[in-house]
Each structure stands twice: as C-alpha cells, then as structure tokens.
Structure 1
Amino acid sequence: MSDAGNMRARYRRITRFAARYLVQAWWYELFLPRLGLSRISAHGRAARLQRIAQRFHVLAVDLGGLMIKVGQFMSSRLDVLPPEITKELEGLQDEVPPVPFPAIQAMAEAELGVPLERAYSFVDPTPLAAASLGQAHRARLSDADAAQTGLTDIVVKIQRPGIDEVVDVDLRALRRVAGWLSRVRLVADRVDMPALVEEFAATSMEEIDYLHEAASAERFGELFRDDARVGVPEVVWERTTRRVLTLQDVTAIKINDVEGLRAAGIDPSEVATEFAAVMFDQLFADGFFHADPHPGNIFVTPRVGPEARPWTLTFIDFGMMGEVPDGLRRGLRRILIAAASRNGKGMVDGMRDVGVLLPSADTAELERAMTKLFARFGGMGFAELQEVDPREFRDFAIEFGDVVRSLPFQLPENFLLIVRAMSLTSGMCSSLDPAFNIWDAVEPYANRLIREESGNVVQGFARQAVSTASVAARLPQRLDELATRIEDGRLVAQVPRIERRLDRVERMVRRVVSAILFAALLIGGIVLRADEAILGTVLMAASVLPLLHALFAGWASGRGPA
C-alpha cells in the first residue's frame, strides 16, 4: 500500500474506533438512563470501560505517533474520566520498535547536509531510546567540534522519517472526533473539546520541532543556572536542526532506580523531597515547567570533589514544556494555600478563580465533598492511604468522582500540562519513598506563599469591606423601587399560551419517542453485534416495533385536527 493509502487507512482506523465507542457510550450512559434503565446501564460498567481502555491501549501501541501521547494525557484526566480508564492507561509508554539505522542515518544526513561520519566521529547504531516521534543514539563529536564546544560524549536525537505526515493525520482525526463530542451537550457543557485538541496540537507541533526543544532546554538551564539542585545538558547548536538535536550526554542514575541510588550512597527519600520542591518552584515561582517528568527524563547525577551537594537532579527531553501565566499562577497559589490549610471551600473558590469551574457551577456538593475529603484523608501519605479499608476508599472515590464529573469544568490554557506534571511528580515521589507525604512538601511551600502574600490579604479585606458597604448603601433604594412596582401593578410574569398548543405537543411526543427508540435500538444492535451477537440481533429485530408505531401515530395524527 502507498504512503497515501497508509495515511488514509490510519485516519479511518482512528475515527472508526472513536465512533464505535462513542455510540456505545451514548447507548449505555445517556439513552438507557432516560428510559429508566439505569440499573441495566450500571451493570458491567467497570468491565466495559476497562475493555475500551484496553483496546485503546492496543490501538495506541500499534499506531504510535500521537496516539500514545493521547493515551498518556487521558491517564492523567482523573477529573473527567472514570478510574477504570485512567488506571488502564497510566502505564502506557512509547512501546514502539526502533527505526532501522540506515533510515535514521539518511534522515540525519539530509538534515545536517553532510555525511554522518563527518558530522560525528562515532554514532552508535543501536538506539539509546526509541519513541513514537524520534529516537536517540549515543555519539561523539568530531575533534574540531569537540575543541570548539568543550564536549566529547553527546546524544543525537533524530526524528522518525515521515513523522510529520503521521502527526498531521492524527491531528485531523482528533479534530474530527472533537467535533463530534462538541455536539454532545453533556461534554460541551463541561469542556471545550475543539479548544482542548488545539492546545494538544500546539504542544505536539512544538514537540517535533527540535529547534524549539533546544531553545526550551537553554531557557530552562538559565532559570536554574545558579541552583545547585538542578542540571541541564548543553545544546550543540552546530549540529542541531528542526529534525536533529545534539545534546551533551548526561546519562546517569535514573531517578526511579532505587537500588542504584542506594548503591551510590544516595537516600531515595531525600531525592523525593528535593524533586517535589524543584517541581513546585517551576510551577508556582518560575512559571516555566517540565511537563513530562517521567523516570526516563530525569537522572540523579552523583558529584565528586569539594562541592557542597553530593548529587544533582538532571532533566532531559524538553519537547513538552508548559508555561503558567501570572494570573493562573496566582490562582494556583491560592489553591495550594487552601490545600495546605485543609480548607475545602477555599479550594473550590481557588478552582473558580483559576477558571477550572465555570461561574455558573453550583459548588455546594463539591464544597461538601472537599471538606469530607480533607476531614478523612487530609494529611495522609501514600503509605497511610494503603492502610485505609479499600471498601471505604473505593466508596468515597466513587462518590467524589461522580460529584467532580457532574460539574461544568473548563480547562485554562496549559492546565492539562500542569495536571500531568503534578500527577507524575506525586507518583514519582511515592515510588521513591512509600512513606512520602505530599503534605510535608506542600505545607512549608504554602506557608512561604502565605508570608509573601500577607500584604495582599490585608488589601483584599479592605476592598471587600468597601464593596459590601457600597451594596448595603444601595439596598434600601432598590427595595423601595421594587415595592413601588408591585403597588403600581407593573411587576408581571408572562406565561406562554400553553393550552392551545397542548394537544399538538402530545401528538408530536408520541412520534418523536417512537422514532428515537427505533434509532436507538437499531444503532445499539449494530454496535453490540461485534461483541454480543445474540443481544445485538435481538435489539435490531425489536427496533421494528417502534418504527411501526411511529408510522401509525404519524398517519393517525394526520387525520386529526391540526
């Protein structure tokens, strides 16, 4: 099959997968509950959702490209997606075979404009790492470049051939699916799917532009230039293009290699505490953060000599970076302070200030759930949570998840990356130290923020007092105006003339219900036949009855008075 044919087949495979399971979700989660069949809808829901996630996992690994990135983002959406899906996808990594070295060599030579043996004195044909967008090879600079840069051992990151076309097809398919979802009110009321896909597209296009990644690496290095906790590889600009990135080789102990850390005399629990502090600084102080801090992108580098620090956290892979605008950063600080003080209402207010919750959202249930969450689990570390009765934890998680998913959420710019970064940070720290308590890291940081913003709090109280006084001053006049309108008979309520239309509506309802039931049974049967042939066939046969009823009701109503 030609490349164009392969791309068409890829597009169809993604959209067909989405269409099939969107119809299935509509059938079970929307249509059956409207008929009063919620119990049937709930039966087997966990297994059904897990099966969908498993099949998406297989699809993502098979297709590669952006599909793996989509799965990774979905695994961090605990606020929107049920745990059966996020749990199944949380281990999704770039499980793709490497591109044969001759193809990689041809790509690199076309980009650099010189034979590979002239650009580098040595390139290892076996990749150090292979991902869905590119792969990395160990190499050494030529003598001339080594003398100029002061570096010898480097890592060359080379894009997979044809990845531009793959990304373009994947984004077109995702935009199509987002368009479908935007027509579903349940989804559209909570999240702007087309805008979310565009944010994901912008991040993806930056990730395949190695010049952008190189600039991000330098910017990140500048932020931590005087911080002995953090190390960043140098960029070899002379051997860097949009599709080839050459960096200093900083390979060391992977941050999640607990045995390796202990063998080097490094306490994993100290690494967890330091890593959390560094990520907090990026998010709440600098506003420019590493959005993909998984174990393969962070090393712990032992230091020798008279330096004060025995080790450094070394970050690599700056393709996925996030920025936190000043306004959003201030809102996140308020959320952090509320979390540290176990203030459920303050947490919800902070979420509203950040823009995660729409202004129209009724947050009474969320405030109650947050207060209950802090009262029962606030301050607990990962190890303590493991000792909680699983049934209690599961029941609360279901209740809390239902409350969160019922509210109208929207995602501010870059918020998805913030959620991803914090989720990976928490998971990393817990794997380094099962007794790690995120509250121990949050509280000192929040206390510092409280001290920094104490002056702003006083000013805020003053502004609120002035606003309250202003409202109170206007209140008597507004009440007087309302009383006058009532006395004059000018306060009226306009009611539609329902009586004359009632008969017509009743006739229309019968036809509409029958038509919807016919379509639902027919589509549901088609969808289910692939997995449950008998049930699918029965549903398709049963669809004939509401079809006949719709036709008969239409004929009968046509004979009656209009």
Structure 2
Amino acid sequence: MTDAAAQGAHRARYRRILSFAAREFLKIWWFELVLPRFGMSSISERTRGPRMQRFARRFHVLAVDLGGLMIKVGQFMSSRLDVLPPEITKELEGLQDEVPAVPYADIRVVAEAELGHPFAEAFAWFDETPVAAASLGQAHRARLSAQDAVDTGLANVIVKVQRPGIDEIVAVDLAALRRVARWAMRVRLVADRVDAPALVEEFAQTSFEEIDYLHEASSAERFRENFADDPRIGTPEIVWERSTRRVLTLSDVTAIKINDTDALRAAGIDPAEVADVFAEVMFDQVFTHSFVHADPHPGNIFVTPLTASAPGSRNFRLTFIDFGMMAEVPDNLRDGLRMLLIAVTGRDSRGLVRAAQEIGVLLPSADTAELERALSTLFSRFGGMGFAELAKVDPREFTDFADEFGDMVRSLPLQLPENMLLLIRAVSLTSGMCSSLDPSFNVWDAAEPYAGRLLRDESAGLMRDMANDAMETAAVTYRLPKRIDAIITRVDDGNVTFDTSRLERRLDRLEGIARRIGSGVLFAAMLVGGALLVPTLPPLGITLLCVSVLPLLHSVFARR
C-alpha cells in the first residue's frame, strides 16, 4: 500500500470511529435525557435492554472490522460486569478470542526484518497457522535452531509478532478516542464523575507499552521473580536472543485453558479449587507485590497439570502469559484497597467510606452520612452473598434499593482515579472467571482469610509502633528530672537569657500592617464621601477625592 493510500485509509478509519460515536451519543441523549424530561421515562426504560444489545452488536461489527485498539476497547467493555448491563458484556465476550489472523506471509516479512535473519536460520521449524491472534499481534509455535536450543536450553517456543502497520493504526485510534473523550466531558453526568481525557491517556500509555515487546519481556521477568518460589504459579522463559520491539520469543507453556472445565475435570483437577487459587494469586499480586496482571482473560491463563508429590499437595499450577498489560499499584492506592477489603469483609460501612476517600473514588468533601446508611442497608440484606445467590434474589428488591438510594448516590462527588482503570479490569475479569469456574464461588469467602491476614499484619504494625512510642516516652521521662534540675540551676545562677529580637520584629511588622489597613479604610471613606459631595458641594468633594490619594499611597507603598 502506497503512503497516499495508507493516509486515505487512516482518515476513513478516523471518520468511521467518530461517526459511530456521534450516532450513539445522539441516541443516548435522546432516550436518556430528552424523553424523561417530557415525562416519557417509561419508553426509555422499556427500550433500554434492546437498545443496549443493538449498540453492542454494532460495536462488535465495528471492532472486528477495524481491529486495532477498537478490539481492546471492546474487550475492556466486555469485562466490566460491574457497571455495564449484560446485554453489552455478553455480546462483546467473543472479542476476547475471535480476532482475524494476519496472513503468514505478512507476519514473516515483519519478523525477518526485525530479527535480521531468514526464518531458515532463526528457527528449525515455524508453524504457519497461528496458535492465537490478538488485536495488536499474533502468536505462532516454532522450534529454535539447534545452536539456539543448546544456548538457551529450550526447544519449543512461541513467537509473538506484531501486526503490520499497527503503530499507525494505534495512533489513529487514539486520536479518535481523544476526540470522543472531549465529547463525553460535555455531558455533566460524565464530567462530574470521571476525567475521560485522563482515562484515554492512561489507555494510550498502556497501549504503547503493549506494542513494545521488550517492555513486555521485562514485565514477564519481573512477574517471574515475584513468584519464583511459589509452586502455585508458572511463567514462560524469555529467549532474549530472538526478541525485539516487534518480535517476542518465549518458551511454550501452553496447557489447559483456565475456562475449559471439561478438560480440567478430565485431568482430575477440580475447577472450584482452581477458582480459589486464582483469587488468592490475584490478591497476592495486588497487596503483596503491587504488580498486577491486568489482562487475566481465559486466553492468557493456563492450568498446567502436575503430579502430586505429597499428600494434600495440589496437582496443578496456574501459568500466566501475555504481560503486555500490567498494573502498578502505588502505596497510597494499596493502603486504600487494604482498608476497602477489611471494611467489606467486616461489613463496616463507615470504614468502606473512608477507604473510598483514601483511594480517591469519593472526594473528601462528600456528605457521607446517607451513604453510610445505604451501605449498612446493603450489607444487612445482600452482604456475604455470592453471584449464584444474588441471581436468585427477587429483582424487585434491587429496584426498591435503587429507588431509595439512587438519587443520593448519583449526587455524590464520585470519580475514577487514573490509576484504577487497569486494576478494575483485572478485578472484573478475575471475578467473572472465578464465578464461571465455580457457580457457587463467593468472593467474600475468598477475601475473608486475606482480610484477616491483612488485619493481623496491621495490628502487628500498630503494636510495634505503640512499643516504639512507649520506649521513646520512657527515655524522655528518664531524662526529664536531670534536665529540669539543670534548668533550675541556670536560673539560680542568673545564666538564663531570652532572645526577643525576632518577636519584636514580628510585632513591628504587625504594627505596620495595621497602619496600612487603617490607611486603606481612610482612603475608602474619603473616596466615597468625596463622590457623594461632588454633586452638592463640588469644592469640598473634589478636595476629598484628591486628598484620598495620600492614604492610598501610604497603604500601597508604606512597606517599601
């Protein structure tokens, strides 16, 4: 494709994304804002489900047709089970795996240009059929050359290769998303709760990191080091000699996909136990290592069968791949999440509000009394229920709760901090995956032991702090009589003096400020009085106006 043709294709792509967004914004504005103002809320509510499903289908077609970041946007939407209706999330589930593959010839051109060698020299064998196709690249099985196999100790590998021209496509998609974000900020309901342009920029940063395979390789090494001594976790080894920014070669660790429950049972592995271990590992990533795999969808996690070495030991381990999307958890966010987890497992509504403020989701200025009451009601009725139990609750109960507290929640100054986007994605995918592995999975049961451990750690830290404070207080108390005796001796000998020069300078400064304030008041009085007297007694009024300049000059220049 010539440069002119490529530029034309990119402009058409940009316009197609914006026209799609404009049409959808117009429909949302009409049904969700205009009709309710004219007393036709019932039409909006009655048609919301079908409208959301049609929107998801249209976006699905757009994403598959365009590829690039549109696939990533759809994948993110499909994981937001917490805020998006099932009509959208279910329709977009297919985007996790169903991405058209790039022809082998195009992939080979990119890979050979990056590696600087023909495939015949770099690999003993290369499978032309991709094992997986993603939005930004695709993976093929291969076998290293004899010499590379000896040097690395590896033979069978997976080679990830970027899609041709993906850099330009990402740039076009981000430009369109930035424009859509600016449109969204014109909607007050959105602008009051989220900084859409900031979220797009965070998404952009993540996307740029994801198309840099050397960055992904470094993240994989860091993740591997974090769990080096953990028998629950496996990670691939990086073949650095055959890796560049656009090509990544790593050991082949493919096994049973985590969502293939039939294959798990056939291997003698209990899917419910897999769900428990998966939840534990994700908690560890957040609270222990502060480095989280932010794309834990089924294609990126395998269950590797093991031979149980001892009674009671597990017969499997979880193997993570694809480290292009990782979330860093800063200290303040991790502390807030600890508070949140402890508050949720303890059904502590006040603690939950404090945690939301610490994280930054709820601004400190919010009036939280009603929110605490709503959370107490929520905990007392639905607290401790798993997804399977919640599915059996009468929908009218949720409706009644929403009617009672919906306006209050919508009025709160809520926002989504920038560093929460990837973490929310990871949590959403984890929750959905565990529930699919074990329909009776209860996130409260998974979180409670972890929260207890965090609470014990915090209590131990508090006891250490109290012990240190007690030791410091005892030391001060021990030295206090001697210091008092020394001071009394100096007073008796007449050796105690006081330096009041700084205090005198401050008093002089305050006195000067008081004079300047008085001059300012005098200026205002003379100015107003002169203005009032000019119509009736012009000479006196003009004199007052002229003389008022003197206190003004004193007020402005006295300090100088």
Tell me the residue number matched to 1:475. none
Q: 1:401 to 1:105 in 2, by over 3 A?
A: farther
Correspondences of 1:394-543 after superposition (within 5 Å): 396=401, 404-454=409-459
Tell me the residue number matched to 1:254. 257
User: Which amino acid counterpart does residue 259 of structure 2 have in structure 1?
Assistant: N
Contact 1:178 1:193 in 2 (8 A): yes
Contact 1:73 1:420 in 2 (8 A): yes
Percent sequence identity over aligned pairs: 70
CA RMSD of aligned residues (A): 2.5
Q: Does 1:219 align with 2:191?
A: no
Q: Does 1:161 align with 2:160?
A: no
Q: Tell me, what secondary structure is at the counterpart of 1:114?
A: coil
Q: Tell me, what secondary structure is at the counterpart of 1:453?
A: helix
Tell me the residue number matched to 1:351. 356
Q: Deviations over 1:101-131 (max 9, x none)?
A: 0111011001101101111100000000111
User: Which amino acid counterpart does residue 95 of structure 2 have in structure 1?
Assistant: L
Shift, 1:430, TM fit: 1.4
Once structures 1 and 2 are overlaid, which stretch shifts more, 370-379 or 315-324? 370-379
Measure, in 2, the Cα distance between the counterparts of 1:249 and 1:255: 16
User: Which amino acid counterpart does residue 198 of structure 2 have in structure 1?
Assistant: A
User: Which amino acid counterpart does residue 59 of structure 1 have in structure 2?
Assistant: L
Q: 1:94 to 1:269 in 2, by over 3 A?
A: closer
Shift, 1:385, TM fit: 2.5
User: Which amino acid counterpart does residue 438 of structure 2 have in structure 1?
Assistant: D
Contact 2:213 2:246 in 1 (8 A): yes
Q: Tell me, what secondary structure is at the counterpart of 1:156?
A: strand
Measure, in 1, the Cα distance between the counterparts of 2:402 and 2:61: 27
Unaligned runs of 5+ in 2: 467-560
Once structures 1 and 2 are overlaid, which stretch shifts more, 448-457 or 301-310? 301-310
Q: Deviations over 1:435-480 (max 9, x none)?
A: 222111111100111111125668999xxxxxxxxxxxxxxxxxxx
Q: Tell me, what secondary structure is at the counterpart of 1:138?
A: strand
Measure, in 2, the Cα distance between the counterparts of 1:56 and 1:41: 21
Q: Deviations over 1:65-95 (max 9, x none)?
A: 1112112223344665555544543553242
Measure, in 1, the Cα distance between the counterparts of 2:67 and 2:209: 18
Tell me the residue number matched to 2:270. 267
Shift, 1:410, TM fit: 2.0
Q: 1:404 to 1:457 in 2, by over 3 A?
A: farther
Q: Does 1:151 align with 2:151?
A: no
Q: Does 1:392 align with 2:378?
A: no
User: Which amino acid counterpart does residue 304 of structure 2 have in structure 1?
Assistant: T
Measure, in 2, the Cα distance between the counterparts of 1:103 and 1:91: 25
Tell me the residue number matched to 1:103. 106
User: Which amino acid counterpart does residue 74 of structure 2 have in structure 1?
Assistant: G
Tell me the residue number matched to 2:209. 206
Shift, 1:238, TM fit: 0.2
Correspondences of 1:283-432 after superposition (within 5 Å): 283-304=286-307, 306=309, 309-393=314-398, 396=401, 404-432=409-437
Max Rg structure: 2
Tell me the residue number matched to 2:534. none
Measure, in 2, the Cα distance between the counterparts of 1:260 and 1:39: 47
Q: Does 1:135 align with 2:138?
A: yes
Contact 1:68 1:94 in 2 (8 A): no
Once structures 1 and 2 are overlaid, which stretch shifts more, 379-388 or 138-147? 379-388
Measure, in 2, the Cα distance between the counterparts of 1:387 and 1:237: 52
Tell me the residue number matched to 1:477. none
Tell me the residue number matched to 2:240. 237
Contact 2:80 2:428 in 1 (8 A): no
Measure, in 1, the Cα distance between the counterparts of 2:66 and 2:407: 32
Contact 1:301 1:313 in 2 (8 A): yes
Once structures 1 and 2 are overlaid, which stretch shifts more, 185-194 or 29-38? 29-38
Measure, in 2, the Cα distance between the counterparts of 1:206 and 1:54: 29
Tell me the residue number matched to 1:536. none
Tell me the residue number matched to 2:479. none
User: Which amino acid counterpart does residue 326 of structure 2 have in structure 1?
Assistant: M
Contact 2:302 2:319 in 1 (8 A): yes
Contact 1:15 1:177 in 2 (8 A): yes
Correspondences of 1:7-86 after superposition (within 5 Å): 7-77=10-80, 81=84, 84-86=87-89
Shift, 1:55, TM fit: 1.5
Measure, in 1, the Cα distance between the counterparts of 2:458 and 2:308: 40
Once structures 1 and 2 are overlaid, which stretch shifts more, 306-315 or 173-182? 306-315
Measure, in 2, the Cα distance between the counterparts of 1:385 and 1:78: 14
Contact 1:80 1:405 in 2 (8 A): no
Shift, 1:367, TM fit: 2.7
Contact 1:279 1:289 in 2 (8 A): yes
Unaligned runs of 5+ in 1: 462-562
Q: 1:70 to 1:407 in 2, by over 3 A?
A: farther
Q: Tell me, what secondary structure is at the counterpart of 1:118?
A: helix
User: Which amino acid counterpart does residue 181 of structure 2 have in structure 1?
Assistant: A
Measure, in 2, the Cα distance between the counterparts of 1:354 and 1:58: 37
Shift, 1:349, TM fit: 1.9
Measure, in 2, the Cα distance between the counterparts of 1:428 and 1:40: 35
Tell me the residue number matched to 2:551. none
Measure, in 2, the Cα distance between the counterparts of 1:43 and 1:460: 58
Q: Deviations over 1:455-506 (max 9, x none)?
A: 5668999xxxxxxxxxxxxxxxxxxxxxxxxxxxxxxxxxxxxxxxxxxxxx
Measure, in 2, the Cα distance between the counterparts of 1:367 and 1:6: 53
Measure, in 2, the Cα distance between the counterparts of 1:88 and 1:343: 36
Contact 1:50 1:85 in 2 (8 A): yes
Measure, in 2, the Cα distance between the counterparts of 1:372 and 1:459: 36
Q: 1:85 to 1:254 in 2, by over 3 A?
A: closer
Q: Tell me, what secondary structure is at the counterpart of 1:92?
A: helix
Measure, in 1, the Cα distance between the counterparts of 2:115 and 2:269: 41
User: Which amino acid counterpart does residue 65 of structure 1 have in structure 2?
Assistant: G
User: Which amino acid counterpart does residue 112 of structure 1 have in structure 2?
Assistant: L
User: Which amino acid counterpart does residue 389 of structure 1 have in structure 2?
Assistant: D
Shift, 1:433, TM fit: 1.4
Q: 1:430 to 1:367 in 2, by over 3 A?
A: same
Q: Deviations over 1:186-214 (max 9, x none)?
A: 21111001101000000111111101100
Q: Tell me, what secondary structure is at the counterpart of 2:418?
A: coil
User: Which amino acid counterpart does residue 240 of structure 1 have in structure 2?
Assistant: S
Once structures 1 and 2 are overlaid, which stretch shifts more, 187-196 or 34-43? 34-43
Once structures 1 and 2 are overlaid, which stretch shifts more, 336-345 or 50-59? 50-59
Shift, 1:9, TM fit: 0.7
Shift, 1:424, TM fit: 1.1
TM-score (norm 1): 0.77
Measure, in 1, the Cα distance between the counterparts of 2:436 and 2:152: 38
Contact 2:131 2:141 in 1 (8 A): yes
Q: Tell me, what secondary structure is at the counterpart of 2:98?
A: coil
Measure, in 1, the Cα distance between the counterparts of 2:461 and 2:79: 33
Measure, in 2, the Cα distance between the counterparts of 1:316 and 1:351: 32
Q: Tell me, what secondary structure is at the counterpart of 1:136?
A: strand
Q: 1:31 to 1:311 in 2, by over 3 A?
A: same
Q: Tell me, what secondary structure is at the counterpart of 1:414?
A: helix
